[in-house]
Structures are given as C-alpha cells and as structure tokens.
A and B are shown apart, each in its own frame.
Chain A
Amino acid sequence: MSQRLDPLPTEWIERDRLVPFSFEGSRYTGYAGDTVSSALWAAGQRVLVRSFKYHRPRGLLSFANHDVNTLMQADSQLSVRADVTPVTAGLNLAAVNTWGGVSRDRASLLNALSAFLPVGFYYKTFHGRFFPFWERTIRKLGGLSAIDPTAPRLRTPKQYDFCDVLVVGAGPSGLAAAIAAAEAGAEVVLVDENARAGGSGSYQLGGDLDQAKQTAELIQMAAAQPRIRQHLQTEAAGYYADGWVPLVEPERMTKLRAKAVIVASGAFEQPAVFHNNDLPGVMLASAAQRLIYRYAVKPMRRAVVLVGNSDGYRAALDLAANGVEVMAVVDLRAVQVSPEAHAIRAQGIPIFSQYGIYAAETNPAQDGVCAAVICPLSDTGEPRLDQRQTINCDGIVVSVGWAPAANLLYQTGTQMRFEERVEQFVPDRLPEGVFACGRVNGVYQFDKKLIDGRRAGLEAAAYLGFAQSVPSPVPAAESESPSHPWPVVSHPKGKNFVDFDEDLQLKDFYHAAQEGFDNIELLKRYTTVGMGPSQGKHSNMNALRILANINNKSPQVVGTTTARPFFHPVPFSHLAGRGFTPERHTPLYSRHLALSAEMVKAGLWQRPEFYRQSGFSRADCIRQEALNVRQRVGLIDVSSLGKLELRGPDAAEFLERLYTGRYQSLKSGRTRYALMLDESGVVMDDGVIARLGPEHFYFTTTTSGSSRIYREISRLALQWRFNCGIVNLTGARAAINLAGPRSQQVLSQLTSADLSAEAFPYLAVREAEVAGIPAILMRVGFVGEWGYEIHVPALSAPALWDALMQAGAADGIRPFGLQAQRLLRLEKGHVIVGLDTDGLTTPAEANLSWAVKSDKPFFLGQRSLAIVGQRSQSKTLVGFTLPASFTGQPPEECNLVIDQGEIAGRVTSIAFSPSLERYIGLAYVPPAQSADGTSLAIRNSDGAMIPATVSSTPCYDPDNRRQKESFLTEAV
C-alpha cells in the first residue's frame, strides 16, 4: 500500500524511473532519487532494523543518518546507511544484526531480560572460570554488519583540491555565505552531504511553499556563480591542521586545502525521552518533513506532534498540509502566542500546553506505535498521571530541540559556550580563518540565517583580502529558544531511550552517575553513550542535559566530550586510496630478471638474492656464485648503497666529526673505511669514503641507512655550520662491484686507465672511463678478492653491466647475488651493520675498535664511548665454526649461545662455506669465551644443542693477500 503523495514541486524523486530492489528477501520498487529508507517507508515497511542490544523493532528516527536505526547490509557492502543511500536497481538489503530476520528476531528475548542487564552489566559479571564461554556469547551478539571475506579490494582514487573559502553545508546560511564570498571575489567550494543543496530551507516549510521557492532561488544563484564549485553527496569528514579537509564523496576522497572555512553545517534534531520513544512511527519532525517534501512520502496517517519550539508547530502545519491528520500538538511549554500556534488552532487541531508524552503504545503486531499517552506536566516537569489521556495515532512526530553539528568546529579548535538563550552550544572564540553561520551558530529563523550566512561569507572574504566591507552585525537574538531544556519524561518501566545506537535508557544515566561516573567523559565511557556508529549525533545533547540535571550544574560546566574525526564514518577504501607498496629498482633490474634472478626485498629495494640456474638448487646456485668469485670473477649490483658527495673547504673536517676515522690525512685518490656512531656510541652505519680532491669526497652508506644517514648528515651540517655541500647521489648513480682474481683482466679490456697494482693500489680510487662511461673506481675488498667498485651515472649502468659481462665472458664471469656476497664477506669476517650489530652494539663489541680513532678531538659518540669504555665489556663478536663432520640442522641467525644454562650470546650470521667446507658464522659471546678454540654451545630453535668452536676471523685468506695482490697468473 503506497504512501506516496501527489507530486510536489520540491520532490527529488523521478516518478518515471522505477527502481526495483529487495529488502529482507521481499521485493520493493522505489523511484530514482529515493533513498533506501524513503522507498521502504513509502511501501509501508515500518520495521527497518533491530536495535543493537535489546533487538527492539526500529523504524525511521532522524532519517538523516544521525542514528543507526536504519543500518543495513547489501551483500559485501557493510553498514549501509539506508537513510542516505540512494536506491539502486538490484540492491539486495538486509537489516544488520538480526537472528532470523527483522520481523522475527529471536534475539528480541533480550528485550524481555533487559531489567537484568543494567548499564555496564558486563563489567559486573561473566568473569572467572566461564569467561571464555561468556565472551564467545557476547562476541556473537555484538557487532553489526558481517564481513564478506571474498569482497574485493576497492582501489579508490584520491584527488587534491584548493580553494579560498570552503563552505560546509549548503542550507540557507551556507548558500548565502558561499554567494557572498564568491561575489566578493573568492574561489569557493561548497559541499553538502545531501544529493541536492537547500538544506532545511527546502523542507521545514510550515505548510507554505514560499520559503522553498526562496531557497530554490538561492540554489540557482549559487549554481550560476562561476566562482562556486559545488560538491554534493559530499561529507567534510574532518578538519585537520592548516585547513586540510577531506571531502568524502561516493567515489573518492578529495583532500582539500582551504584558506578559510565557513562551517554552516546546521544542527542535528534531538529526540525526546519518553517510554517507548523508539517504536517505529515515532520520528523526528525533520524526518517527517524530509519524507514529505523530498520524497513525497506520507510519514503516517494520524500524528501526535510533540513540540518544544516553534519548529514543531511548523512541522505540524507541514503534516496537515500534506494529508496527515494531526490529532494533537503536545507542547512541553506553557501556552504560546505565535502565528504558527494560531494557524494550528485555526485548523481545529487541539494544542495541549505544558503537556508531555508519557508513553507511546505499541500496536498488537508489535511493529509500531498505535497511541500516545499524554499528560500535563508540573512546573518541575513531573508528569501528572492522574490526568493522562490516550490519543490514537500511527505516528508521533517530535520537535523538541537541536544540537549544533559542531564536530568540525571543535576540530578547528573553536571554543564553544553554552548559550542559555538558545539552549545550545555556540561558537565563542573562532580560530583565525574559521567562520560559522546558521544553526551551528545558534541562528534559526530563515531570514536571519540568510543574513548570518552573508555576514560569514563577507567576513571570510575580508579575511582573505577580497572584501573591504565591514561585515554586517550578527543578527539579533532568537525570540524563543529553538531547544527545550528538558525534553525528558521519566517512566517506571524505562524503555525511554536516550541513545538509540546503544540502547541506553534514561535510568542508565542515573545509575551510572550513582556509581561515580558523573563526569561527562566517564559517563560516556561507562554507559557507551555516543560511542555507537553515529557518535552521539542524536544522543550526546540529551545525555549532557541529564548529567547536568543529576549534578545540578549548567550544561556549560558539564561540558562536552572531545569531538574527533570523522564526522560520519569513512570507508577504508576512501582513506586508503588506490594503495600501493613503494618499491625501488636499480637501473639493472631488467638485467637481473633476464638472468633469472630471485629478487628479495632490502628495505624498499628489490635486489637479486641469487641467480637461478636450471637444474640446480638454491644452495647450489649460491655456492657456485661464491666459488666463481673466489676462482674467477663475479659482478654484483650494489647500486642500492647510499652514495653521497661532499664538497667544500670544511668537508674533511666535517667527515672527521661524523665518522670515527681520520679523513683530514686521507690523501686524494685514496679511500678509507668509515664507521658512524650515534650519540650514545652505538654503531649506526658504515661505508667507504673516497677522497677525490682536497675539498671533494665521495662516499657510501649502507643500503638500509642511506636516507636516514643523508638526513642526519644534512642536519648536522646545518647545526655545526660547516662550509660544505652535500649531494645525495643514491638514485643518480649506480654501482657494480667486480670481484675475483680475474677482475683486473676483465676491466683492463674496457678502460685505458692503468690498473697495475703500482698505479692503482688496494684502497685507491680513480676517475676514469670504463666502456666509454665516466666512472669512479674504488679498489676495495668486501668479499676478500681483488676487485673494483665501479660507480657510474644510473642511466649508463646497463651499458656498463653489458660491457663487463661481455668482456668477462672468456674469463667465466657470473653475476652473484646477496646471498653469495654475504657468504663471501662472512668468510672474511666482515661485519654487516644491522645484521651483526643491533641497536645497542658498541664498536668494541663488534670488533671495530680498529676503526675508531679515539684520540681525535671530536666525533659523534666519542664522549659516550669514553664512558662506556670504563665499564667492562659484556660481549664480543667472534667467528665460530661447526665441525666439518656436522650434518643435520645447523643453527640459524639469532639462535642463542648458552653457557651453563644461561643466555651467553647469540648467532648473528651463519652460512656454509664452500671454501672451508663447513659452517662458519659470527656470534656474540662473553669476552671470557672469546679465545680461539673455545667451545660454544648453540641452542637451535627446536632445543637441540649444537657444539661450535670459536675461531679467529677471517677464516679465509687470513693475511688478506688476495685482495691486495694480483693473482692474474694463478691457474684455476
């Protein structure tokens, strides 16, 4: 049975476009332009969901997404707000959190038990032995929507935008503000969460379409104004520092940076508290008015209208003008003399002044209201039950007051003050660049809202230097308060709900206060008021009034809870955006893939772990790569190393302060190991520093440290005021390490530089062309063989790689990956910072004291080292080996060294050495156990104890001859 009205000039629906959808398994048809709620209500569906705790039937309340009375699920679309979600063809909806459907919810048993479930009941019991059982039960009952684990990831684009003035809310005051600011010359963005602009101007009409016409004109003016861009169906979800406002639209999030913000977000209408105030059919007046004027839906046939302000009279006129039989207007206040009251009386509608609704009565089907029980109120607001009377109706319309939609204002840092005149919090001190107008500013009458909006628009424009005009004064006070101070009538049976999301009744607040939760924040946390998905939009104000009443304090003193983002909940997809995982590739990435490299993540970098050879295992491949370096020649892409260049008169001195070694004395053309500590003397990073000229250095950092070290060095250069410039070349340059006894032979084919040991000795650096590419060559030996680290411009790296591969073909050149490199350096006992050190390792512990020149005047961490040095050292890094005969599961990195049942240290590196044909590794042990030949016990993860022996490093080529002397003549 359709409840549609005849076509109205204000309606948003398109009657020629039918939209079929289903709800709880039944089919429905709405019109394009309908929301889910309006379409269902039009079809006569009254029970839309079940309440969270007691599973009571619920219908429309705010019809504005200020409650979760209409929270639904559409397959994998969770928590659909039926109030504001457009119907679309094929939508398949169900109420959330029911046990057997919305009409026969088995969990409604909880409603009968509610007397035993007082506020916070779950804190008082269920603990102890059976808690796991109770917890399972509670978890089953809790929660609203149910996830669909197969739902796909949505990749929602993000957009950035800028404007002079952002106006939040396109109601009368927001429209007026936007127009005024734009006319003054500002670029304006106007947002509104509704599908169309106009706000209350298009539906709170008092039975007269004239105001809707004025609003329509404003909408047209705004649309015609070229400096206004409108975003409808868009929520300003929060306000963040520096004018950042995320605008959440159905398809995307726009991050808007506004120079000024005008908050014209209006007010949330508030429910009245009486017995059964949650029955389907009891709704806020603004909900009924929106049903009528936007969707041409008759909200009910016969209504009782509970009012506490003149808005209520206008709502009654709207109802009466649209075919609803208004049985009575029940006014919480004393007799009113106003044009609206006059108009009501003129229509023969009885007005009960200083009356309240004591209870709503439920119909036999238990799915809606069938009567209102009203009674006079004493001067203190007590119901005089002896004079109560029952009025039959199928709907109760409530208009007792408002709460400012000030969430955004609070987030801007606005100080709000409770203004008794309008019974509402209003902005007291606005931060610079933030303006407010309309209801959020305590201005309610249509004409005054326009004036106030214009004032805010001009003020914002003036603030930005567009308008010189003195803003017009704030409109005079309202003649009456739009909100009633105490829209509450108690009832011995309770079920007079304050928070509909959380099923909180009036008595819950008194009980919570009785238990000591009589501070607004504690009250919120104990009762959970305002903690539901609508975050208190319809409940915080009444909760505050109740607490103020309990404490006998003013709302100002009671205060509000903190307003935080978001205004309405925001989908993960919108926040996440398209989503990507950043990854860095060296210029040689495609070469590695072509060579079947297995890539591994090293920080953000993708690096070859090893190169797969068909027919060989991973371990075999790594072993072959390592042996090839030892016996012939290999090359590895080390482009991910941090690469920095330092120039200037103070460069050497600066390095000397940053690093532990000496660099003033380093000769041009030479390199030196570089170790950096933090201020507490802990090993932070290492690399190689090459001096290319008197005031010119080129140096490397670890892969993982590169950006951090660059940042830290830049900071220190500024702080210490050194005259030198730092350039981060990490991305601009690539580097290849060519190593092995035949490396000189291979390189000699590509360069005219003199590579002889005399002309280019170990640890020297040269600038020369390699394969026609300008390069920096360093003779360093991390892997313990004769070798060159060749640094070239990134774009030339593939050419260099190809040239080396080609030149080395005859010598058996092979690329090697990270695993082989780790193994080779382990054979040499070289420490990898971050692997063999941790967040507290000192140089002495890692056997790096040789690199620390403590007698320098200053270096980072020096003072700390001196203090630490006075303590006895508790651990030291040693090499160890497993017996050659060891088979079975070797220890892993970070397995513990155990001594007499206690933790003595840990393994930091371990690998099988093909050169030594046994497992070798590095481990921390107490200094007393660090002598060569000491037996260690390592505990595997499975508990097995593995015997090992301390052995001095390097275990391969102990005299380091291979990296220094040419083996060109040696046969393989």
Chain B
Amino acid sequence: MPLRLLKFGLVKSYPESRMFRQRDRLRPTYDAVIIGGGGHGLATAYYLAKDHGINNVAVLERGYLGGGNTGRNTTIIRSNYLTPAGVKFYDQSLRLWQALSETLDLNLFYTNRGHFTLAHTEASLRTLRWRAEVNKHYGIDSEVVDPQTVQAACPHMDLDCGGAPVMGALYHAPGSIARHDAVAWGYGREADRQGVEIHQQTEVTGIRVEGGRVTGVETIRGAIATPKVICAVAGFTPRILDWVGLRSPLKIHPLQAMVSEPMKAWLDPIIVSSSLHVYVSQTARGELVMGASLDPYELHSTRSTLDFAEGLAARMLDLFPFLSQAKVVRQWAGMADMTPDFAPIMGKTDIEGFYLDAGWGTWGFKATPICGKTMAETVARDRNHELIREFSLDRFSKYALVGEKGAASVGH
C-alpha cells in the first residue's frame, strides 16, 4: 500500500481540505472571466494563473464543476486525427495528459490502453490508412493492422461482427482513457490554489459589449466588470454567441452513451467501429463504457432514447456475443456542439476581449489540457496561439475548413 494512505489511518481528524473553496461573493471586477466550469474552462483558468501569472480570474459555472459534457463523456484520448493541424494539436494534448496526474497531483486514472478503429469495408480501411500515414508523418504512433493483430489484443472479440467481418484496423498505441470528473476536480483544485475563484451555481445571463469590446458579464448573482471573457460552454455556445451577435455554423446534437454493470477486467484496449457505430472501453472499476454516433437530429436536450440503447446493444453483441446476459445499468446524453468540419472553434473573435473555445462536439475531452494551455496563452497575449490558428471562427466565412470528419465522426 502506498505510504500516502498511511495518514488516513493514523490521524484523528480527516486530513484533507476543500479542493475548491466556496466564495460567498463575486468581486466587482476580474482581469478575466471564464464562462463554463467544465474541463476546458477550468484548465484555461489553471494555465492562465500558472503559466501567465493571471489569477484575478473567475470561473462561473451555472451548475456544478464538470457537470456538462466533461462529466458525461466516454473519455477516449487519442491523437490519430486526419489533418496536420489536428494531429499536431492533439499530439501536444497527449503529451500533457501523460504527466497530468502528477502535474495536478491527483490520480486521474489516465491509463494507456491502445486504441483500435476497426474497418469492416474497404472504404473505411482506406480512410484509416490515410490517417495512419498522416499520423506517422508527424511522428504519431499509428498503423494499419490486420485482423489477427486485433484478435491478439482482444482475444474475445468475434471478428465476424455479426456479418460485417473485420478487415483491418487502425491501431493507435497511445490511445487512453481517464476518469473524467477527476480532470475537472484536478484543474479546479490547482486553479483554486493559484488564487482563481470558482463560482458554482452562478449562471451567466448576458455579456456586456461596448464599442466592439467586452466590458463585463451579467450573472444571476449580479454584474461583473472584466475586459476579457472566455466562453467555454460546449452545448450552450449558440445562445451565448447570440448575445454578442456572433454567427457560427454550430449545430447542437444530442450524443448518448451507456454503461454496463462492472465485470472483472477482460477488455484492455479501446475498440471503435465506425461502420457499426459502436465504441467501448472498460474502466478500472470494470464497467463497459459504450457510445455510438450522434443522434441524427438537432436538439437541445439531454434526454435518452430507447432506440439508441437497442441499437448500441445489438452492435455490442455483434462484437462480443458472450455479453448477451450481461446488463446495461444506465444511459445518458450530452449536447454536442458540432462544426461542419469536425474541428473545433478556438481563439479570438471579432469582438475584442471575447475568446471562444467551442465546437468540441464529440471529441473535446482529450483536448482539455491543450485547450487550457493554448487558450490561456491566447488570452494572456491577445494573440492566437500557433497551434490553434487554423481553428479560428472566421475559417467558415473564409472556406478554410479543417476536414476532420473522417477521423472524428464516431471515434471521439
């Protein structure tokens, strides 16, 4: 047993203090206000304070920390994207992830499992090869492998897949999962330690813009003056953009997931099949965390649907027929903010002092550390960080899209 746990058994009173302090009041002004206490908002706060010494910052969260998509996501972390901009960006994120538990001194259960994207058709095998080639070019560990390699890594899988046999797979060794909530808590705790104020149950209701620049925000607990606002609200982005009169092509689609009862460990890698619309990994507790593609319609809701659970269960049994009598415990949904090119929207906007971090759709958890890092620098220097230049909002009006659709649609 690690020595660190000794203190819990040996001391009388519980030796831990609050991870994030409760603040009774909002200050009248902050140097920067971050809307959204998800992973992205909290990470941005942390790096603003840590890297740039800007700690007169408030993170405003309408619910509780990590209660948005951060706490609903299926936590797949990988960097095997398709475009050079995407590959470089996610690769940097992965590097931050690898040390993140230690950086934040909180065990995030970041675990490297390896990631297989299965191909059941020649067409998907082709796209996977494209990804592998781009990845390798940028030094990212990705390779197209044959069905036998898949079988070796996942001996219990039925390669026939209910009539859509596995023809090959993209293997991405760095593919990992982590405990989503802990990421929010870890960033929250360290941001708090750096002096950042975290205000939960504090909904932002308006943004003040005067003469093309941000001057403050309105909240249910009163108004705040600030020259800089960072908007990191995922599925809520369109309404906030409405307030400030910015247009984006974001569309909100529900994204659902479900989880099984815990079982003894039997699945090490993360398995994704975009043709079958299923992906799955097994947590340290032994639950299978499963997801599929987006709901096909726009909807601003986190309700669950039965046909999702039915379809996903059927596809799961195509891959793993022996799970027939295993049980699904729970299903849920988040609101994914989708861009047409499946790449994010980041950085400065036409409104001075209004910074956007959105368009994270189904794939933004893995970007949490690098988003925080690059957004923080962008805000501190008022200049888009080099890694996010291609992700700016104006790419849509300029037709300079970052085509990640082939790499992001089901894999997250």
Q: Are the C-beta atoms of B64 and A522 separated by less than 8 Å?
A: yes
Are A514 and B322 in contact (CB-based, < 8 A)? no
Q: Do the beta carbons of A123 and B107 come within 8 Å of each other?
A: yes
Residues in B with CB closer than 8 Å to A143 are 262-265, 285-286
For A149, list chain B residues within 8 Å (CB): 155-156, 266, 322
Determine, out of A10-18, A474-482, A575-583, the stretch whose residues face the partner at the interface.
A575-583
- The CA of A835 and the CA of B398, in the complex, are separated in Å by 26
| B20 CB-CB contact with A under 8 Å | yes
A564 contacts partner chain B, Cβ-Cβ < 8 Å: yes
Q: Which residues of B contact A722 (CB under 8 A)?
A: none
Decide if B209 is an interface residue (CB 8 Å cutoff): no
Complex CA distance for A101 and B6, rounded to whole angstroms: 29
Whether A892 touches B129, Cβ cut-off 8 Å, given contacts A124-B4, A125-B4, is yes
Tell which of B4, B123, B155, B399 has the most Cβ of chain A within 10 Å.
B399
Say if the beta carbon of B19 comes within 8 Å of chain A: yes
Q: Using an 8 Å CB-CB cutoff, how does the interface string of A867-905 with B read, 1 for contact, 0 for none?
A: 110010000000000000000000011111000000100
Write the nearest CB–CB distance from A410 to chain B, whole angstroms: 12
The answer for the CA separation of A505 and B127 in the assembled complex, in Å, is 51
Contact call A906/B329, Cβ cutoff below 8 A: no
Per-residue CB contact flags for chain A residues 564-588 toward chain B (1 = under 8 Å, else 0) read 1110011111011101110100000
- Are A116 and B130 in contact, CB atoms less than 8 angstroms apart? no
Q: For residue B129, which residues in chain A have a CB less than 8 angstroms away from its CB?
A: 892-895, 941
**Cross-chain contact A581 with B286 (CB below 8 angstroms):** no
Shortest CB-to-CB span from A527 to chain B, Å, is 11
Cβ-neighbour of A581 out of B17, B121, B200, B318 (below 8 A): B318
Q: Is B284 an interface residue (CB 8 A)?
A: yes
When the two chains form the complex, which single residue of B22, B127, B182, B317 contacts A572, counting CB atoms closer than 8 Å? B317
Evaluate contact between B130 and A569: CB separation under 8 angstroms: no
A241 touches B303 (CB 8 A): yes
Query: What residues on B are CB-neighbors of A140 within 8 Å?
Result: 264-265
Task: A187 to B406: give the CA distance in the assembly, Å.
Answer: 50
B327 touches A570 (CB 8 A): yes
Which residues of chain A come closer than 8 Å to B398, judged between CB atoms? Answer: 867, 871
A121 within 8 A of B: yes
Which of A126-134, A268-276, A749-757, A960-968 sits within the interface?
Answer: A126-134
Known contacts A145-B263, A573-B324, A893-B126; is A124 also within 8 Å of B316 by CB? no
Q: Give chain B residues whose Cβ lies under 8 Å from the Cβ of A583.
A: 163
Cβ of B162: which chain A residues have Cβ within 8 Å of it? 579-581
Which B residues are in CB contact (< 8 Å) with A153?
317, 321-322, 324
Instruction: Encode contact with B along A508-519: 1 for CB under 8 Å, 0 otherwise.
Output: 001100111101
Q: Is the CB of B16 within 8 A of A576?
A: no
Inter-chain contact B102/A681, CB cutoff 8 Å: no
- Known A-B contacts A78-B263, A145-B264, A680-B401; the reply to A151 vs B332 at CB < 8 A is no
Enumerate A527-579 residues with CB–CB distance to B below 8 Å: 533, 535, 562, 564-566, 569-573, 575-577, 579
Bound CA span A896–B322, Å? 40
CB distance from B62 to the nearest CB of A (A): 13
Contact of B284 with A906 in the complex, beta carbons under 8 Å: no
Question: Is B96 interfacial (CB 8 A cutoff)?
Answer: no
Contact pattern, B 1-41, Cβ under 8 Å of A = 1, otherwise 0: 11011101100001011111110000000000000000000
Q: Is A566 in contact with B324, judged by CB distance below 8 angstroms?
A: no
The segment from B51-59, B131-139, B352-360 that touches chain A is B131-139
Within the complex, the shortest CB–CB distance from B51 to chain A, in Å, comes to 22
Q: Bound state CA distance, A569 and B126, in angstroms?
A: 39
User: In this complex, what residue of A is CB-closest to B329?
Assistant: A569
Q: Which residues of B contact A150 (CB under 8 A)?
A: 322
Tell whether A144 pairs with B324 under 8 Å between CB atoms, given A131-B101, A566-B330, A941-B132: no
User: Are B317 and A565 in touch, CB under 8 angstroms?
Assistant: no
Q: How many angstroms between the C-alpha atoms of A126 and B3 in the bound complex?
A: 10
Question: Within 8 Å CB of A507, what residues of B?
Answer: 14
- Is B152 interfacial (CB 8 A cutoff)? no
Cβ distance B16 to chain A, nearest Cβ, rounded Å: 5
- Interface presence of A591 (CB below 8 A): no
Nearest Cβ on chain B to A654's Cβ, whole angstroms? 25
Q: Which A351-378 residues have a C-beta within 8 angstroms of B?
A: none
Q: Contacts A142-B285, A143-B285 known; A565 to B304 CB distance under 8 Å?
A: yes
Assembly CA distance A835 to B102 (angstroms): 45
Q: Is A117 an interface residue (CB 8 A)?
A: yes
91-137 of chain A: CB within 8 A of chain B: 97, 113, 115-118, 121-128, 131-132, 134-135
Contact of A76 with B322 at beta-carbon distance under 8 Å, contacts A571-B327, A839-B406 already known: yes
Name the contact of A78 in the complex, choosing from B14, B137, B261 (C-beta under 8 A). Answer: B261
Interfacial chain A residues near B63, Cβ < 8 Å: 521
Q: List the one stretch of B73-81, B307-315, B372-380 in contact with chain A.
A: B307-315
Report if A447 contacts B (CB, 8 A): no
Contact A577 B314 (CB under 8 A): yes
Contact with A along B268-286 (1 / 0, CB 8 A): 0000000000000000111
B144-158 CB contact bits vs A (8 Å, 1 = yes)? Answer: 100000000001100
Q: Are A864 and B399 in contact (CB under 8 A)?
A: yes
Digit string of B228-257 for contact with A (CB within 8 Å is 1, else 0)? 000000000000000000000000000000
CB pair A521–B64 under 8 Å, yes or no, is yes
A525 within 8 A of B: yes
Given A145-B263, A680-B399, do A152 and B324 touch, yes or no (CB 8 Å)?
yes
CB contact under 8 A between A151 and B322, given known A576-B317, A941-B132: yes
Q: Does A252 contact B (CB under 8 A)?
A: no
Set A241, A569, A871: member contacting B261, Cβ < 8 A: A569
Is the CB of B106 closer than 8 A to any CB of chain A?
yes
Closest B residue, CB atoms, query A413? B303
Of residues 809 through 846 on chain A, the ones whose CB sits less than 8 Å from some CB of chain B are 834-835, 838-840
Q: Do A151 and B310 have beta carbons less than 8 Å apart? A: no
| Interface presence of A240 (CB below 8 A) | yes
Nearest opposing residue in chain B for A139, CB measure: B265
| B306 x A246 contact (CB < 8 A) | yes
Q: Does A301 contact B (CB under 8 A)?
A: no
* Chain A residue with the shortest CB-CB distance to B131: A894
Q: Is the CB of B309 within 8 A of A151?
A: no
A601 touches B164 (CB 8 A): yes
Tell me the complex Cα distance, A131–B284, Å. Answer: 12
A576 touches B313 (CB 8 A): yes
B164, A581: Cβ atoms under 8 Å? yes
Residue of A nearest to B82 (CB): A838
CB distance from B347 to the nearest CB of A (A): 20
Q: From residue B323, how far is it (CB to closest CB) to chain A in Å?
A: 5
Query: Could you tell me the distance between the alpha carbons of A572 and B324 in the complex, rounded to whole angstroms?
Result: 5
B406–A896 CB distance below 8 A: no
**Are A125 and B304 in contact, CB atoms less than 8 angstroms apart?**
no
Complex contacts, B403 vs chain A, CB 8 Å: 838-840
Residue B108 interfacial (CB < 8 Å): yes
Chain A 783-825, CB-CB to B under 8 Å as 1, else 0, gives 0000000000000000000000000000000000000000000
The 7 closest A-B pairs by CB, nearest first: A143-B286, A153-B321, A569-B327, A575-B313, A127-B101, A894-B130, A115-B9
Q: List 30 A-B contacts (CB under 8 A).
A: A115-B8, A118-B5, A118-B14, A125-B107, A131-B107, A131-B111, A142-B262, A142-B264, A143-B286, A145-B326, A147-B322, A149-B156, A151-B325, A153-B324, A240-B306, A522-B65, A533-B329, A564-B304, A564-B332, A565-B306, A566-B328, A572-B325, A573-B317, A576-B310, A581-B162, A839-B405, A903-B84, A906-B133, A941-B133, A941-B143
Q: Measuring CB to CB, which residues of chain B are less than 8 angstroms from any residue of chain A? A: 1-2, 4-6, 8-9, 14, 16-22, 63-67, 71, 84, 101-102, 105-109, 111, 120-123, 126-127, 129-130, 132-134, 137, 143-144, 155-156, 162-164, 179, 181-182, 185, 200, 260-266, 284-286, 303-306, 309-310, 312-314, 316-318, 321-332, 340-341, 398-401, 403, 405-406
Binding site for B on A (CB under 8 A): 76-79, 97, 113, 115-118, 121-128, 131-132, 134-135, 138-140, 142-154, 156, 238, 240-241, 244, 246, 255, 507, 510-511, 514-517, 519, 521-522, 525-526, 533, 535, 562, 564-566, 569-573, 575-577, 579-581, 583, 600-601, 680-681, 834-835, 838-840, 864, 867-868, 871, 892-896, 903, 906, 939, 941
